[in-house]
Amino acid sequence: MTTISTTAAQELSPVENVPLSERDKDWIVVQEVQAGKVAAFDLLVQKYREHIFSVIYNMTGNRA
């Protein structure tokens, strides 16, 4: 999977100074998307491209 490269996602969490989980990093990027940052949306699409394709293909049965 693609690693999210945002500065905020690379920081340590304030609780016990532990590294953020992938889920926490994704949540930070989702918040950036909600704030209107298109580049953050592109990161999520790139990271989950194969899964997104699989879901759509299973729903439609069409690769086109």
Confidence class for position 62, pLDDT limits 50, 70, 90: confident
The better pLDDT of the pair 11, 26 is held by: 26
The answer, yes or no, to whether residue 11 has pLDDT greater than 60, is no
The answer, yes or no, to whether residue 41 has pLDDT greater than 60, is yes
Q: The whole model's pTM is what? A: 0.60
Q: What is the pLDDT of residues 18-36, one digit of tens each?
A: 788 999 999 999 999 999 9
Percentage, residues of the chain above pLDDT 70: 73
Identify the CA nearest to 33 among candidates 4, 62, 12, 58: 4
